[in-house]
């Protein structure tokens, strides 16, 4: 094994053996992606509708069938339990069917139901979907009622409606959305956007806070003893940099696989995604080298790593999508590595981007990594002469 690979492997093993990394590096990112996707992710299948009362009635069956066909999650329960679920935000809309409403529906007259929505923003959007489904059920029942009043039996009226559906072509409406922002996020899964943002945030944040390990290695003389071995200073620095790069890649691959298996996140072309991940990890590793070589105190390095990691992530679109940024902030955002990686991953996920599409972003990341690595290596060699 080459000295560079040996040093890099040692850095990665030290990182994996540190039990303090188990939660903040491996568990917390997935929990945060789950939380963000559950609260803000857009998915029709995530809309939950509860029906209380009217069990076995025609109204309850018709509503349940129509809501299910409209790709909404439907379940039944007691009124008290459903009200509690709505208050806790676990259900978006609750429909309460009284005996009078069920009887009125059977008689073909107007039926009144109580509707309760959750206080979250998703509740209002879900209510519009439920209204559309209820309107379809109401129209169908009105048609049946009119045919039965004309002298047809119930079965004959239903058969006539089925034949009319085959003979009459319903008009279609094509909606053209000219909003750039809405088109940009069209087709994204419930967890796709949050997974991309948290992937970039945690890779960079963990790398910067991990600069403390380099400071401890300098303080304990590990770096000095490494340089005393039969290898050049360039090999030693390359091994340390490769180790930081390996740590960032390990966490990135873990988040990629975890989100794909647990949340069904579509990362698009995996080879291109891996290329962007490698380029961004190189930037994070090089930045960690700069902090770990420039500072001599663990607390200062941790504070600077957390602060810089969160600020750069916020400016780069890892907290609020950059599509919502105003123009001055949008320009500042382009100065962060997170924004370039975000743009590349967005091209791959949403637009089936090719290698040519993401090469500008990858080129910027690689250039930034080379500059930071050169600066970090130079500072590291100079720092060995300082007393810690």
Report which of residues 274 and 40 the model is more confident about.
274
Domain count, the chain: 2
How far, in Å, are 63, 72, 117, 130, 139 from residue 133 at the CA level? 8, 10, 15, 5, 10
Query: pLDDT tens digits, residue range 195-219?
Result: 999 999 999 998 988 888 888 877 8
Residue 280 pLDDT more than 90?
A: yes
In this structure, the answer to whether residues 151 and 196 fall within a common structural domain is no
Query: pLDDT tens digits, residue range 299-312?
Result: 898 899 999 999 99
In this structure, the answer to whether residues 48 and 35 fall within a common structural domain is no
Burial of 171 (0-12, 13-18, 19+ CB in 10 A): exposed
Residue 179 pLDDT more than 60?
A: no
In this structure, the answer to whether residues 360 and 228 fall within a common structural domain is yes
In this structure, the answer to whether residues 177 and 119 fall within a common structural domain is yes
Q: Which two tokens stand for residue 307?
A: 């602060």
Query: pLDDT tens digits, residue range 331-344?
Result: 999 999 999 999 99
In this structure, the answer to whether residues 354 and 232 fall within a common structural domain is yes
Calculate ∠ Cα 343-349-350, nearest 5°.
85
Of 138, 159, 182, the last residue of a domain is 182
In this structure, the answer to whether residues 215 and 154 fall within a common structural domain is no
Give the N- to C-terminal CA distance of the chain in Å, as an integer.
32
Question: Per-residue confidence at 323, pLDDT binned at 50, 70, 90?
Answer: confident
In this structure, the answer to whether residues 139 and 162 fall within a common structural domain is yes
Q: How many angstroms separate the CA atoms of 250 and 153, rounded?
A: 68
Mean of pLDDT over the chain: 85
Q: How many angstroms separate the CA atoms of 87 and 325, rounded?
A: 33
Of 150, 167, 182, the last residue of a domain is 182
Of 132, 162, 182, the last residue of a domain is 182
The domain spanning residue 155 has which CATH number?
3.40.190
In this structure, the answer to whether residues 275 and 334 fall within a common structural domain is yes
In this structure, the answer to whether residues 226 and 305 fall within a common structural domain is yes
Residue 45, pLDDT score: 46
Report which of residues 167 and 91 the model is more confident about.
91
In terms of residue numbers, what domain contains 209?
3-40+189-387
In this structure, the answer to whether residues 142 and 175 fall within a common structural domain is yes
Model-wide pTM > 0.75: no
Mean pLDDT of 179-193: 71
Residue 44, pLDDT score: 42
Burial 112-127 (b: 16+ CB within 10 A, else e): ebeebbbeeebbeebb
In this structure, the answer to whether residues 22 and 69 fall within a common structural domain is no
Query: pLDDT tens digits, residue range 220-240?
Result: 777 777 767 777 767 777 888
In this structure, the answer to whether residues 24 and 94 fall within a common structural domain is no
């Amino acid at each position: 094994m080459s000295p560079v690979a040996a040093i890099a492997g040692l850095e990665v093993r030290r990182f994996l053996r540190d039990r303090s990394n188990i939660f903040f590096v491996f568990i917390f990112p997935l929990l945060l992606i789950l939380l963000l996707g559950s609260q803000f992710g857009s998915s029709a299948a995530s809309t939950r509708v509860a029906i209380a009362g009217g069990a076995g009635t025609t109204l309850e069956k018709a509503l349940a069938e129509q809501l299910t066909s409209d790709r909404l999650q439907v379940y039944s329960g007691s009124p008290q339990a459903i009200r509690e679920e709505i208050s806790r935000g676990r259900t978006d809309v609750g429909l309460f069917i009284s005996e009078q409403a069920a009887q009125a529906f059977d008689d073909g007259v107007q039926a009144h139901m109580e509707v309760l929505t959750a206080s979250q923003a998703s509740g209002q959007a879900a209510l519009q979907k439920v209204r559309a489904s209820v309107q379809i059920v109401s129209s169908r029942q009105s048609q049946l009622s009119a045919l039965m009043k004309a002298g047809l039996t119930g079965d004959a009226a239903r058969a006539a409606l089925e034949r009319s559906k085959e003979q009459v072509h319903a008009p279609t409406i094509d909606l053209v959305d000219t909003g750039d922002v809405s088109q940009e996020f069209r087709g994204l899964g419930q967890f796709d956007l949050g997974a991309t943002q948290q992937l970039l945030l945690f890779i960079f944040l963990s790398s910067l806070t991990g600069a403390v390990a380099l400071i401890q290695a300098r303080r304990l003389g590990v770096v000095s003893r490494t340089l005393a071995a039969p290898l050049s200073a360039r090999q030693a620095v390359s091994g340390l940099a490769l180790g930081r790069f390996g740590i960032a890649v390990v966490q990135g691959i873990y988040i990629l696989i975890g989100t794909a298996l647990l949340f069904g996140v579509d990362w698009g072309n995996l080879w291109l995604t891996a290329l962007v991940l490698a380029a961004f990890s190189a930037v994070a590793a090089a930045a960690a080298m700069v902090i770990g070589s420039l500072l001599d105190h663990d607390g200062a390095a941790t504070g600077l790593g957390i602060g810089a990691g969160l600020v750069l992530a916020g400016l780069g679109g890892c907290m609020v999508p950059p599509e919502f940024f105003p123009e001055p902030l949008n320009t500042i955002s382009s100065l962060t590595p997170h924004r370039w990686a975000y743009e590349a991953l967005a091209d791959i996920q949403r637009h089936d981007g090719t290698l040519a599409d993401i090469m500008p972003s990858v080129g910027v990341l690689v250039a930034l990594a080379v500059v930071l690595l050169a600066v970090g290596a130079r500072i590291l060699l100079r720092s060995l002469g300082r007393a810690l």
